[in-house]
Amino acid sequence: MKNHKMKDIVIKIFTVLVLGIIIWNSIAYLSDMFMGQEYNSLSHFIIALITTVLTVTLIQVVLKTDKTSWTQLGQSTFKTNIFSFFLGFSLWTIPASIGLFICLMLGWVEIEIHTDLYSLMGSILILFITVFFIEALPEELEMHFVTNNFQDCSFS
């Protein structure tokens, strides 16, 4: 019985990882097809939404087949999830800012602004939202799924 449960968990993990790779390769193909060498923030945002929708759908289907809920993946209350998001964002922003500051001071990078402040802030906001939907959310969902399923089985 224990080996059967472990086998099911390994199959679920393998399925999510393989389908996740297929989603990412498909997104890379769509990105090349729609954007090519030119960057377009609207196309990038649409591709980000597609990535998130496909990943959430993948996790939801696997959870439904296993009769598992999102709370078992580590999802908590909305308030707790928002706090965790901003904590993670801060933990990313602090070292990224330090790294950027070091690069600027050593002359490894130079930043020039060729637009007004409002356009710059709008572009940065859109970029943060797009990166959240194309990378952070899908990666975190898959990571939580895999790690929580590994915790469900013991390899002893």
Mean pLDDT of 31-45: 77
pLDDT of residue 4: 60
The answer, yes or no, to whether residue 38 has pLDDT greater than 80, is: no
The pLDDT tens digits for 84-128 are: 888 988 898 999 999 999 999 999 999 888 889 899 898 888 888
Tokens 């997104």 locate to: 27
The confidence score (pLDDT) of residue 154 equals: 58
pLDDT at 40 over 50: yes
Mean pLDDT of the chain: 84
Q: Where are the domains of the chain?
A: 2-152
**Residue 68: what pLDDT?**
76
Q: What is the CA radius of gyration of the chain?
A: 19
pTM of the model: 0.74
- Put residue 74 in one of left, alpha, beta given phi > 0 → left and psi -120 to 50 → alpha: left
Asked whether the beta carbons of 13 and 59 are under 8 A apart, the reply is no
CA torsion sign for 75, 81, 87, 92 is positive
